[in-house]
Structure 1
Amino acid sequence: MSETPVNLDELRNRIDAIDTEILRLISERATCAQTVAQVKTAEDPHAVFYRPEREAQVLRRIMALNAGPLDSEEMARLFREIMSACLALEQPVKVAYLGPEGTFTQQAALKHFGESAKSLPMAAIDEVFREVEAGAANYGVVPVENSTEGVVNHTLDSFMDSSMKISGEVVLRIHHHLLVSSTTRQDKISRIYSHPQSFAQCRKWLDAHYPQAERVPVSSNAEAARLVKTEWHSAAIAGDMAAKLYGLDKIAEKIEDRPDNSTRFLIIGHESVPMSGDDKTSLVVAMRNQPGALHDLLEPFHRHQIDLTRLETRPSRTGAWNYVFFIDFKGHIDQPVVVAMLEEVRLRAAEVKVLGSYPQGVL
């Protein structure tokens, strides 16, 4: 073997020096964050410390400046945790999410707010809305659509009666695993627990590998993982967080039928979000029941060259066979072109409700 061209002791000393400098700079950043909190509080005792548009701008800047060898998303995740810890020094963020602990929604909440946020599990989507409305949580995280199974209707329906605003989004790649406990007899698995959406996302794999096993739907994948701990002949479909939380083993990984399986989650809060430079807006629009209503709704978007990213319909609460439209588009309500488009839509619609303008998901 050839001699090592670089002295390892010198490299380790250099790493130690770099670590010391990183530590100094992180501490300096944290001190600066504390000063920001003091200035904000002096100006306004009810100041808002978490600024979604500012965090999105910081993360985009980091990703643009990153020259490797770590990829840009990994680098942004590191900075997300630094920002999360610094924000906790200013004011800890309380985040309600669709529980129980170990769900993909909790994973999305931690991805968006970082590990320093205090996450509060709720039993249902409408409870997440109520927790934020009551002020018991600063923000809430709810699933809104899956790339395989489509929209989450409970979330859309909750927006119809709520005053909450959307302040952000996060897209999470969903990987499902088949999990068992240490006491499971793997050759005798006759029952599989999971959430109905997960069964739907893994249908082909289950048909091929466990066609005779009973599929038992439960309220969440975390609940499925909990049940498996007490049975010797069952398995659960769940993700990494649930596997770690309940100490389960993976006997098959990434069993979802589509490798690009993703779920989009929305962040809900009380405040409107200023422009970040790369934003989305969500609306609920009720149209009058007349011929050409959908065309009348969409024509201003086309003429103003505004990019629609989602269009869904839900039954209206006001009468049988009346519907409302949920619309996502690229842009912010403070942009002049969006203001002009919305003025036209309001003239044509029975009702328009802006759910929020917010930064497009960075991570």
Structure 2
Amino acid sequence: MTKEERRLRELRGKIDALDEKIQALLSRRARIAQEVAHSKARNGDKYFYRPEREAEVLRRALERNRGPLPDESVARVFREIMSACLALESPLKIAFLGPAGTFTQEAALKHFGQAVETLPLGAIDEVFREVESGNAHFGVVPVENSTEGVVNHTLDMFLASSLKICGEVALRVHHHLLGTGATSAARRVVSHQQSLAQCREWLDAHLPGIDRVSVASNAEAARLAAADSGTLAIAGDSAAGLYGLTILATNIEDRPDNTTRFLVIGDLDTQPTGADKTSLLLSGKNRPGALHRLLAPLARHGINMTRIESRPSRRSIWEYVFFIDIEGHVRDRKVAGVLKRLEGEAAFYKCLGSYPKAVA
């Protein structure tokens, strides 16, 4: 045996010893998690999953990280550990905008880990209804893309729904061109309308003159491409594997930082973590300067507004409501004081929830 072979055997022995310790610690952690669940049950706490606690664990893991693993990998490992431990006592059912293979499912698994039951649904309003009825513990829906803007249907659902925002997921979205044959035989490219828009420049340059057809989801596009050699799909890795398609071109999105934000919805109030957002739904009174009056308290008290969108209220024509995200939690003293002033100034006021900012 050479010197390098002996060195390799020695290093592998160290890895094996570490693996044994890691597995023993994982088992110990799982047993303690079971004790936590039993304690909650005795106290009448029906919520085994707490978004603020998971965010706290993840942030601590990232603070401790000194490499060589990147933060994203460390976060993924700890998410799966928490997901598996939680499933020992109370497996979660997560509704999402389907079918299987969509980026929304990918976001759901990124947030909750693999040890959950996912429930694909055909429309955003169906996701809300499943969670409202108690058939799913939480739902995951898209709300905005860094390139193409907001998903109006999601915003509109909050006007009537009693559900709260319990968390958010930021997912880097990479689009691939998928098919069963060569691009030269293609008659059309199919995908969700937002994905087609996010890849417009690439399609203009590489597939000019080919019909572009909008369908309900990227996963549906992949299904169609799998059934027809003349159809190409724009979708992600999950859809490619699920439908057995070949990746003909990778990362065809026009912006390399293309990111979609998803919301986690449920019937749960989260506790402050120190790194939170609060989402609001407001409309101003019908008088000059109404929007300025609504927003002025935020500026006066140093509350950072990270997003504002307007939508028709659907109560009367030319009446609008504003969806606003601010930094901070509704239980923070400064935020609570400002929200009280906003409520007094607004013709319509609804707090959609305070929740931890997305982690890795």
TM-score where L is the length of structure 1: 0.97
| Aligned-residue offset at 1:289 | 1.6
* Residue 308 (structure 1) aligns with: 305
Mapped pair 1:62 → 2:61: yes
* Distance (whole Å) between structure 2 residues aligned to residue 111 and residue 161 of structure 1: 28
* Residue 224 (structure 2) aligns with: 227
Which of 276, 286, 298 is the aligned partner of 2:283?
286
* Residue 163 (structure 1) aligns with: 162
Asked whether the 8 Å contact 1:146–1:261 carries over to 2, the reply is yes
* Distance (whole Å) between structure 2 residues aligned to residue 114 and residue 307 of structure 1: 31
| Aligned-residue offset at 1:322 | 0.7
Structure 1: stretches of 5+ with no match in the other structure: none
After TM superposition, the structure 1 stretch with the greater mean CA deviation from structure 2, 63-72 or 152-161, is 63-72
| Aligned-residue offset at 1:351 | 1.6
Q: Secondary structure of the residue that 1:90 maps to in structure 2?
A: coil
* Distance (whole Å) between structure 2 residues aligned to residue 318 and residue 217 of structure 1: 30
| 1:111-122 correspondence runs (5 A) | 111-122=110-121
Mapped pair 1:75 → 2:74: yes
| Aligned-residue offset at 1:344 | 1.1
* Residue 31 (structure 1) aligns with: 31
* Residue 143 (structure 2) aligns with: 144
* Residue 108 (structure 1) aligns with: 107
Q: Secondary structure of the residue that 1:284 maps to in structure 2?
A: strand
| Aligned-residue offset at 1:227 | 0.7
* Distance (whole Å) between structure 1 residues aligned to residue 81 and residue 138 of structure 2: 20
| Aligned-residue offset at 1:5 | 9.7
Identity %: 58
Q: Secondary structure of the residue that 2:205 maps to in structure 1?
A: helix
* Residue 7 (structure 2) aligns with: 7
* Aligned-residue CA RMSD (Å): 1.2
| Aligned-residue offset at 1:8 | 1.4
* Residue 256 (structure 2) aligns with: 259
* Distance (whole Å) between structure 2 residues aligned to residue 153 and residue 35 of structure 1: 43
| Aligned-residue offset at 1:347 | 1.6
Which of 344, 349, 352 is the aligned partner of 1:347?
344
Asked whether the 8 Å contact 1:190–1:212 carries over to 2, the reply is no
Question: Which amino acid is 2:153 matched to?
Answer: H
| Aligned-residue offset at 1:4 | 3.3
| 1:36-47 correspondence runs (5 A) | 36-44=36-44, 47=46
Mapped pair 1:322 → 2:323: no
Mapped pair 1:172 → 2:162: no
> After superposition, what is the alpha-carbon deviation per residue over 1:214-246, rounded to whole angstroms, capped at 9, x for unaligned?
111111010010011111212100011100111
Residues 12 and 126 of structure 1, relative CA distance in 2, 3 Å threshold:
same
TM-score where L is the length of structure 2: 0.98
* Distance (whole Å) between structure 2 residues aligned to residue 193 and residue 75 of structure 1: 35
* Distance (whole Å) between structure 2 residues aligned to residue 72 and residue 6 of structure 1: 33
Structure 2: stretches of 5+ with no match in the other structure: none
* Distance (whole Å) between structure 1 residues aligned to residue 340 and residue 46 of structure 2: 32
> After superposition, what is the alpha-carbon deviation per residue over 1:74-113, rounded to whole angstroms, capped at 9, x for unaligned?
1111010000000101200110000000000000000000
* Distance (whole Å) between structure 2 residues aligned to residue 192 and residue 311 of structure 1: 33
* Distance (whole Å) between structure 2 residues aligned to residue 174 and residue 297 of structure 1: 34
* Distance (whole Å) between structure 1 residues aligned to residue 296 and residue 38 of structure 2: 49
* Residue 20 (structure 2) aligns with: 20
Mapped pair 1:123 → 2:122: yes
* Distance (whole Å) between structure 2 residues aligned to residue 276 and residue 60 of structure 1: 10
* Residue 193 (structure 2) aligns with: 196
Question: Which amino acid is 1:157 matched to?
Answer: D
Asked whether the 8 Å contact 1:96–1:141 carries over to 2, the reply is yes
